[in-house]
Every structure is written in structure tokens, then in C-alpha cells.
Chains A and B, each alone.
Chain A
């Protein structure tokens, strides 16, 4: 059974610092992995999607790496801004469910202080 864990559960950094968010998963037979952002009372916004054959994806200040063999992904946010304050969720799709569901971690709640 796949278990997705995100550490830390909460993180507070001053503006300008780089953010490092971690996601680990127990079953390496993943099809792809996504990072989402969730703002309070809002839905989810997909930030980056990494296919199992890829090592990393980049979009602007965001970079996500994937090490499938060790069951880890890391989301880096460079030069954090107060607008980056949100909960960040990691989700995997299994090879056996390549048409189907995502399995989510519990999230990391990020606060960026001005």
C-alpha cells in the first residue's frame, strides 16, 4: 500500500529565503508525481508534474526533483515571497492506476514573513 509523507508539516521562513519541501513515498512503482498548491478555503492548483522517467521539472522560481528509486521528491522555491504562503501538497499516481486516482500527502503549510 502506497504511503505518501510530507515533512515538515509546517514551515515559516523570512522573505527571500529559499524553500525546500520534501515528499517521500513507499512504493516506487509510480506513473507520475505532482506538486500542488492549496490556498485557505480554495481548490488546488497544479504547480509541476514529473513523469516517472524524468528527474526534474522547472517552472519559474519552482523546481521539483524526483528520485524514484529512493522514493523521494523535493520542491524548491527560490527567493520566497509572502505570496508563496500556502499549503503545498505532493501526490503520486501509481503505474497500476495510470488512468486514475492520485494519492496525496498531508501537505506542508508554508508561511513566508515579510
Chain B
């Protein structure tokens, strides 16, 4: 069973461009979480999704950021019109259906905005 996969591992964008980060959860996992780790800071929750539903987006910036987890295919975190402050490591985690179960984290996507 492959682990959580994220791609790309490294992404460079210029200010104003769009960034698309992909996350493929582990097989059998229907819960996906996105976290952001800014330089020298801890991980901050962004959004929690189940298939075709956003359950909790309380950590998402109000503008430019969106997330989806379609019925088929990976979860996507989309950042429009990136700014330098968006430079960070973005981690995806998945867990099986169930309450309070252990999450499995992907290797992260490191976004650099020039």
C-alpha cells in the first residue's frame, strides 16, 4: 500500500501565477487534510475534506486559496495569484473513515514564490 503521495515535490512560481498542489491519499482513506508550514513555524491546519465535500475550511485564507477532493482523482489545493508570503511547505495527510484515527502524512510540496 503506497503512502500518501504529493506532487510536485518542489514548485517555483512567480508572483501572480497560479499554484496547483496535488495529494493522492492512501488506498482506502477518504479523509484528506491540508496543512501549511511557514519557515521557522509549526504546521497550521488549512482544510479538511472528504470525497466531494469540504468539512472544515476554518484555516484557509479567505481569498486566493481553494481546495477540492473530487469523487475520482487526487485532492487539489489551488492558490491563485501567488505572493511571496505563500512560500511554504504544504503537507497533505489522509486517514481512513472513523473518529480520531491516525493520519498519514505525505512528503510535502515546497512552494517558492519568486
Chain A positions near chain B (C-beta within 8 angstroms): 4, 31-32, 34, 36, 41-46, 49, 51, 89, 91, 93, 97-107
In the assembled complex, B64 has its CB within 8 A of some CB on chain A:
no
Which of B12-20, B65-73, B74-82, B97-105 forms contacts with chain A?
B97-105
Residue of B nearest to A4 (CB): B42
CB-based A-B contact count at 8 angstroms: 62
Neighbouring A residues of B33 by C-beta, 8 Å: 100-102
Determine which residue in A32, A43, A100, A106 has the highest number of CB atoms from chain B within 10 A of its CB, and name it. A43
Neighbouring B residues of A105 by C-beta, 8 Å: 42
A interface, over-half SS: strand
Alpha-carbon distance between A51 and B100 when the two chains are bound, in angstroms: 9
Neighbouring B residues of A101 by C-beta, 8 Å: 33, 45, 48, 56, 58-59
Query: Please, could you name 6 A-B residue pairs with CB atoms under 8 Å apart, sorted by A?
Result: A34-B102, A41-B110, A44-B91, A45-B105, A51-B100, A106-B42
In the assembled complex, B106 has its CB within 8 A of some CB on chain A:
yes
Alpha-carbon distance between A34 and B41 when the two chains are bound, in angstroms: 18
Q: What mask results when residues 24 to 53 of chain B are scored 1 for a CB within 8 Å of chain A, else 0?
A: 000000010101000001111100100000
Check if A102 sits within 8 Å of B45, measured CB to CB: yes
Indicate which residue in A4, A89, A98 contacts B100 across the interface (CB closer than 8 Å).
A98
Check if B43 sits within 8 Å of A104, measured CB to CB: yes
Indicate which residue in B42, B45, B99, B108 contacts A43 across the interface (CB closer than 8 Å).
B108
